[in-house]
Amino acid sequence: MILGKVTGTVVTTISHPHYKNRRLLVVQPLTLKGDKADGDFLALDTTHAGIGDTVLVNREGNGARAVLNNPDGAIISLIVGIVDQVTVETVN
């Protein structure tokens, strides 16, 4: 899983059934100081995260299908938690 920051929202009226009535958010992975902030992606939200929240994102289909309790779910990135605090011991 990775840590990311929600920086946007996506509204889709026409979408695949698995994506219905759930928010789709734009997530930017957290990076170390000096690294360029890229590699952003979209993630389905299950935690009512909003723009500016730091979130925990699961980026693997099986995990997403387990959380969503949908064995055929066509979802990869899923926000599974809103992070309150992060402690980093060493930074290379």
Partner 1 sequence: MLLGRVRGNAVSSVKYPDLKGMKLLVVEPLNKHLEPSGPLQIAVDVVDAGPGDLCVMVRSREAALAMKEHKFVPVDLALVGVVDELVVRPDGDFDFNLVKGTTKYS
Q: Does 1 bind partner 1 (CB under 8 A)?
A: no
d(CA 36, CA 65): 31
Q: Does 8 bind partner 1 (CB under 8 A)?
A: yes
Q: Does 19 bind partner 1 (CB under 8 A)?
A: yes
Tokens of 21: 């009535």
45, 57, 73, 79: which one contacts partner 1 (CB under 8 A)?
A: 73
Count of residues of this chain found to bind partner 1 when the rule CB under 8 A is applied: 50
By residue count, the chain amounts to 92
Q: Which residues have C-beta within 8 Å of that of residue 4, sequence separation ≥ 6?
A: 27, 28, 29, 30, 43, 54, 55, 57
Q: What is the DSSP letter of 71?
A: T
Q: Does 3 bind partner 1 (CB under 8 A)?
A: yes
CB of 52 to partner 1, least distance (A): 7
Instruction: Provide the binding-site residues for partner 1, judged by CB under 8 A.
Output: 3, 5, 7-16, 18-19, 24, 26, 28-33, 37-38, 40-44, 51-54, 61, 72-77, 82-91
